A and B are shown apart, each in its own frame.
Chain A
Amino acid sequence: MTAHPNFRVDIYQNEFLHEGAHEVNAIVTVSSDGSAVSSTMDASAAAAEVIIVDCSGSMDYPRGKMIAAKQATSVAIDELRDGVAFAVIAGTDQARLVYPQQGGLVRADARTKATAKAAVNNLKAGGGTAIGRWLALANSLFAGHRDAIRHAILLTDGRNEHERPADLAATLAACEGAFVCDCRGVGTDWEVDELRKVATALLGTVDIVADPAGLAEDFRRMTAAAMSKAVADVALRLWTPQGASIKFVKQVAPEVADLTARRVATGGQVGDYPTGSWGTESRDYHVCVEVKPAGVGDVMLAGRVSLVLGDEVLGQGLVKATWTDDMVLSTRINPEVAHYTGQAELADAIQEGLAARKTGDLDTATAKLGRAVALATKSGNTDTAALLAKVVDVDDPVTGTVRLKAKVSDVDAMTLDTRSTKTSRVRKSS
């Protein structure tokens, strides 16, 4: 294998536990610097990109949507590095290969890009929506490119109406780990939960593009981000002591994503959690482990966190536990842990609040969204606070005293829902 980026693992925790305590919490900050790779980027970091464009009948209403989707796809094609293997899929109740018309992926160069853009330009809207079939086709295209950094963009404007939820779930299970997929919903007729499920399973992001005019820039940014990835299929490996149980492993920045259920056991006390592809970036994870309490004064390793590529360890950090009877030490609150505990609660409060609002349970909606306002304010998550202010009237942001707005546009509610998992980072005190 060629040089991989350096991974730096920092652990933030209060390792001191009071006598008998068994829950160990730590924030694991993983930073990768792509510098080791940038010089050899073209040679080593092979990439494969599939763009999936919704061509269902509704893409023609309003008229501008299909035009914007075509433009955005063309912009994304332009953004591909030469040599990247790519394809474009048109999605309806079937999945159809737009470019190349048959076979697998094609290497990007001036000629293939131009041909692809011409094919995209001829796309017509008509038909239904079956997201699982689109992903299945993408999956088969990626099959011959296991060594590349595999990324897909999925654009849709509607619900997954033409296949059963179970079919989509089965396809997602088959695609897990096969490629990373960023999802975008255009307009307001799509289902946030549905697309979030796709993005979560495929370790990508989900966002709303309410105005079709914003699509091109969004596609350009997504493709550029995909092109900047230097290494794929990195896993977070967690060793825990015998008898310990893992309460959860969550990515908490830049977005909240629960990885607990994604564990693949690689040994009796070791499990791997998928993290997808990495460029020059930094992500935070919250690890919570329950251990058997040891005696006062004992030091225990509660978790060994490694970033691995296959069996190659790219970086490692230690989560420790020390039992003490000094209450000053054991009651000290670690600011990182407290912050991200709040951010995860913030995401839950927003999603539960909006769900309650939909079903007409206004008391619960007010309470949950009020709590969300207080959490967003306290943690300095100004982006989320601004989105919340479009859904509720805020009387007191500190206590979270709010009133539900009588009229809320679908765009505002869906934007808040989609972006509820975006977290603010702890301001590192150093």
Chain B
Amino acid sequence: MPSCPAGHDSISADFCDICGLAMGGVSAAAPSPTPSAVSAENCPECGEARTGRFCEGCSYDFVAGAGRTPAVTAAVAEPVDVSAPVPGPVPILGWAAVVSADRAHYDAVRLQDGPDAADIAFPAYCPERHFELTGQQIRIGRRSRSRGLEPEIDLTGPPADPGVSHLHAVLLSQPDGGWSVMDPGSTNGTTLNDDPDPIKTDIPIPVRDGDRIHVGAWTTITVRGPGSA
């Protein structure tokens, strides 16, 4: 009698009769991007996995190396998108998302009085960032080298919103050209506009021009439709 990877005896030869695991050497059909594809590097100071130029654990500068010398000259790969604050409204042609620190959302989160809410400060400086929405899906989250995850809308910061999950939400392109937002099961949930209840996980909700997607402790992503200012 064949036995499955977990050691159960099974009469069926395709999947184990007991636990359902694929029998004998059937492996994932899906190509799974392994973390080894990107250079796995750990911080020499604190051991945290490298996710960008600066260590998330202790701000060690991987580019400048040794110590925390502020590297002013670094024109090298700067992964954090700190595009300058946009002076005044600029016309947007396609769909776009504008990420901003939102005082009203921050206040609403603090009012809910979560266990860590009191420890989170509203960032003193956080320029608005614009992302064009193109392709089939746009992930919102914080990048993680160890999980091979680089969300298109990367909220790693600085400033870092500690309430944002690595994969927090996904914007999905709709057949009609519009977009919808889906929360694949973030830790703290995703809310829309003034609705205090988080959206249901795994269910895409269509969004329209001007809709505000709230994630984390103070981050609001405003959806801009085509042609809007």
Identify the A interface with B (CB < 8 A). Answer: 16, 18-19, 21, 23, 240-244, 269, 291, 294, 296-302, 304, 318, 321-331, 333, 338, 341, 378, 399
Contacts and interface: CB of A to CB of B under 8 A. Distances in A.
Contacts of A378: 206
26 contacts: A16-B30, A18-B184, A241-B19, A241-B20, A243-B19, A269-B17, A291-B20, A294-B21, A296-B28, A297-B32, A298-B21, A299-B27, A299-B28, A299-B29, A300-B21, A301-B20, A322-B28, A324-B32, A325-B147, A326-B30, A326-B148, A327-B149, A327-B184, A330-B184, A331-B184, A399-B208
Nearest to A333: B204
Contacts of A240: 20
A304 B15 CA distance: 10
A327 B16 CA distance: 27
B19 A242 contact: yes
Contact of A297 (B15, B18, B28, B182): B28
Nearest to B8: A242
Which of B22, B26, B31, B139 is packed against the most chain A CB atoms within 10 Å? B22
A-B interface, 8 closest residue pairs, ranked by CB to CB distance from nearest: A241-B20, A301-B15, A299-B22, A301-B20, A297-B28, A300-B20, A324-B30, A331-B170
Given A296-B32, A297-B32, A299-B28, A327 B167 contact: yes
Nearest to A23: B202
A297 B172 CA distance: 25
A81 to B, nearest CB: 42
Which size class do B's interface residues fall under?
A: 20 to 34
Contacts of B203: 338, 341
A331 B15 contact: no
A326 B20 contact: no
Contacts of B15: 300-301, 304, 318
Given A299-B26, A301-B14, A326 B19 contact: no
B196 interface: no
A327 B17 CA distance: 29
Contacts of B185: 18, 21
B135 to A, nearest CB: 10
Contact of A333 (B20, B172, B206): B172
A242 to B, nearest CB: 5
B33 interface: yes
A326 B31 contact: yes
B137 interface: yes
Contacts of A322: 28-30
Interface in B142-174: 147-149, 167, 170, 172
Given A241-B20, A298-B28, 6 more contacts: A18-B184, A269-B17, A301-B22, A322-B29, A331-B139, A331-B182
Contacts of B204: 333, 338
B33 A326 contact: yes
Contacts of B139: 327, 331
A242 B16 CA distance: 10
Given A21-B185, A331-B137, A333-B182, A324 B22 contact: no
A241 B22 contact: no
B27 to A, nearest CB: 6
B38 to A, nearest CB: 13
Contact of B32 (A241, A321, A325, A399): A325
A341 B202 CA distance: 11
A300 B184 CA distance: 21
Nearest to B29: A322
A318 B16 CA distance: 13
A162 to B, nearest CB: 44
A165 B147 CA distance: 57
Nearest to A328: B137
Contacts of B137: 328, 331
A63 B172 CA distance: 58
B210 to A, nearest CB: 12
A327 B29 CA distance: 15
Nearest to A341: B203
A241 B18 contact: yes
A325 to B, nearest CB: 5
A196 to B, nearest CB: 26
A332 to B, nearest CB: 8
Of residues A300, A325, A328, A399, which shows the largest number of chain B Cβ atoms within 10 Å of its Cβ? A325
A244 B20 CA distance: 10
A262 B80 CA distance: 55
A24 to B, nearest CB: 10
